[in-house]
Amino acid sequence: MGRWLEGTIWAGLFITAFYLASADSPTAIELADYGRTGNVPPPYPRGAEWILLGLAALFWLASLGVTIWRRANLQTVPKSD
């Protein structure tokens, strides 16, 4: 519970990458216009979105890895001299 800032940073990185990946997607209004007129444009290039979604997945996996690593390195039995 003492790592709120770190968790907030990981969550912020994930959410930002996920939001930026989905921000340029066509909306329902655009899709409705295309359906009415039958004038469907060519597909948008999606390379940048896949990179951002990959970054979101990477941030999620990295945060899990850091959490697992920190839990494994916790001292469970106090050392007494």
Distance CA 33, CA 40 (A): 9
- Per-residue pLDDT, averaged over 65-70, amounts to 88
Q: Is residue 46 part of a domain?
A: yes
- Per-residue pLDDT, averaged over 24-29, amounts to 75
Q: Which domain holds residue 8?
A: 4-72
DSSP 41: P
Q: Is residue 78 part of a domain?
A: no
Provide the whole-model pTM: 0.62
Q: Is residue 58 part of a domain?
A: yes
Closest C-alpha among 57, 47, 66, 50 to residue 13: 57
Q: What are the pLDDT digits (tens) for 30-65? A: 778 777 777 777 777 888 888 888 998 999 899 899
> Does the pLDDT at position 25 exceed 80?
no
